[in-house]
């Protein structure tokens, strides 16, 4: 049974997991033997957002403990896994480097192949962990604090981004509107909670206008909420937080669900995968499920622990590359940005290691 140890430190979660493949390729069926996530959310809450320098220092402190616990939970030693997978792009450079250096150290010490993983490809693989019978092709709506993308997964390793945000990511829009309403960070869960008691029709807010049918824009919606708040404050009114939250949430999630379903239909795809931190949103889950049901599409929404950043999804993607014979050179670097089309460049024979920010060879660093 092939097994991969995976490390994820691209943003504010320090995560390690061990993932195994239950079925022989191409059946795949990845299964997590352990998954440990240490969130830094409390640390960054005081600043109202993630502070990169604070994040990377915390990863350095936490990673050894998370690694130890993940191995303990799996009942394995590093020597017993087949490869070390690690997120190398996109993300915060300092944070990515901590995970990559940790992975390179383990790869060198235990003489294991290194497998760099694109963070967004990891998110796609949360679907395969959740539902072992899932197979490409499918359309993935990835909504997080940093991304709002519609990704067409044609096959393992073959992806095309068919929709993206022109400005704020969905989670970012939730966080900014929550701040306007005086709610805490992260704002998504707060808006979700307040919206439960609100009237989604009280304030008709505009949907961002974009010419591309599957792209999104939330800055107009955010500005409309700002104007509404200012207007109500000028009138000396107490803010109807629940109604504003519900109106904003309905508009944003309605747009996402409608675009995802229309895109799946246009591409002739019968399966929709929803993932990323914003997949926690109850209204989005309900709207997408209902819109898909009306069109006879299958919707896969992994459990929340797999939707938010975790290392199991990185391990599942890494395992897929391992089974396909793709490993990364030890000179692999990190990149703050990388399109999904850059994935082949992470593997030997795929055009060399992509290095926007070169980190040098492992030997030189160690």
Give the residue with the Cβ less far from ligand KG4, 174 or 203. 174
To ligand KG4, the closest distance from the beta carbon of 236 in angstroms equals 30
Rounded Cα gap, residues 126 and 344, in angstroms? 20
SS3 state at 165? strand
**Segment contacting Zn ion (CB under 5 A): 17-25, 231-239, 293-301, 308-316?**
308-316
To ligand KG4, the closest distance from the beta carbon of 166 in angstroms equals 18
Give the residue with the Cβ less far from ligand KG4, 55 or 297. 55
Using CB under 5 A, which of 9, 14, 95, 144 touches Zn ion? 144
Give the residue with the Cβ less far from ligand KG4, 74 or 317. 317
Instruction: Provide the token pair at 63.
Output: 């990673």
Give the residue with the Cβ less far from ligand KG4, 21 or 257. 257
Instruction: Provide the token pair at 270.
Output: 């019968």
Task: Verify cis geometry, omega within 30 degrees of 0, for the bond prior to 271.
Answer: no
To ligand KG4, the closest distance from the beta carbon of 52 in angstroms equals 13
Rounded Cα gap, residues 316 and 32, in angstroms? 8
Partner whose binding site includes residue 70, from ligand KG4, Zn ion, none (CB under 5 to 8 Å by kind): none
Which of 339, 342, 344, 336 lies closest to 151 in space, CA to CA?
339
Task: Report the run of H or E that residue 143 belongs to, with start and end.
Answer: strand 138-143
315 near 208, Cβ under 8 Å?
no
**Segment contacting Zn ion (CB under 5 A): 18-26, 190-198, 240-248, 305-313?**
305-313
**Segment contacting Zn ion (CB under 5 A): 78-86, 101-109, 110-118, 139-147?**
139-147
For residue 160, list its beta bridge partners: 152
Instruction: Provide the token pair at 245.
Output: 């939250």
Partner whose binding site includes residue 326, from Zn ion, ligand KG4, none (CB under 5 to 8 Å by kind): none
Query: Which residue ranges make up the site for ligand KG4 (CB under 6 A)?
Result: 11, 144-146, 171, 174-175, 186-189, 192, 276-278, 280-281, 308-309
Rounded Cα gap, residues 164 and 215, in angstroms? 5
The alpha carbons of the chain give a radius of gyration, in whole angstroms, of: 21
Residues making contact with Zn ion (CB under 5 A): 144, 309
């Amino acid at each position: 049974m092939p097994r991969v140890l995976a490390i994820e430190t691209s943003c504010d979660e320090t995560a390690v997991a061990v993932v195994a493949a239950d079925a022989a390729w191409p059946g795949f069926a990845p299964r997590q033997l352990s998954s440990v996530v240490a969130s830094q959310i409390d640390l960054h809450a005081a600043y109202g957002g993630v502070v990169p320098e604070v994040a990377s220092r915390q990863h350095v402190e936490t990673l050894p403990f998370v690694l130890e616990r993940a191995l303990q939970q799996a009942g394995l030693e590093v020597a017993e896994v087949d490869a070390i997978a690690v997120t190398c792009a996109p993300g915060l450079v300092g944070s990515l480097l901590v995970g990559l250096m940790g992975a390179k150290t383990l790869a060198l010490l235990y003489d294991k192949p290194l497998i760099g993983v694109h963070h967004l490809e990891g998110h796609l693989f949360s679907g395969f962990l959740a539902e072992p019978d899932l197979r490409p092709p499918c359309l993935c709506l990835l909504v997080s604090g940093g991304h709002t993308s519609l990704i067409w997964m044609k096959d393992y390793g073959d992806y095309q981004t068919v929709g993206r945000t022109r400005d704020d990511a969905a989670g970012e829009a939730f966080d900014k509107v929550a701040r306007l309403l005086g709610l805490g960070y992260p704002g998504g869960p707060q808006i979700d909670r307040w919206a439960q008691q609100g009237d989604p029709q009280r304030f008709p807010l505009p949907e961002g206008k974009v010419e591309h049918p599957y792209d999104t824009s939330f800055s107009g919606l955010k500005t409309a909420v700002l104007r509404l708040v200012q207007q109500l404050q000028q009138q000396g009114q107490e803010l109807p937080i629940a109604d504003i939250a519900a109106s904003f949430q309905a508009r944003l999630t309605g747009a996402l669900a409608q675009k995802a379903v229309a895109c799946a239909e246009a591409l002739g795809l019968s399966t929709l995968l929803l993932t990323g931190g914003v997949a926690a949103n109850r209204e989005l889950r309900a709207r997408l499920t209902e819109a898909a049901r009306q069109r006879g599409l299958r919707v896969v929404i992994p459990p929340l622990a797999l939707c938010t950043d975790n290392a199991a999804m990185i391990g599942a993607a890494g395992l897929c590359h391992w089974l396909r014979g793709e490993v990364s050179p030890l000179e692999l670097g990190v990149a703050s940005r990388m399109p999904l089309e850059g994935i082949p460049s992470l593997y030997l024979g795929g055009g060399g290691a992509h290095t926007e920010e070169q980190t040098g060879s492992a030997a030189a660093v160690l």
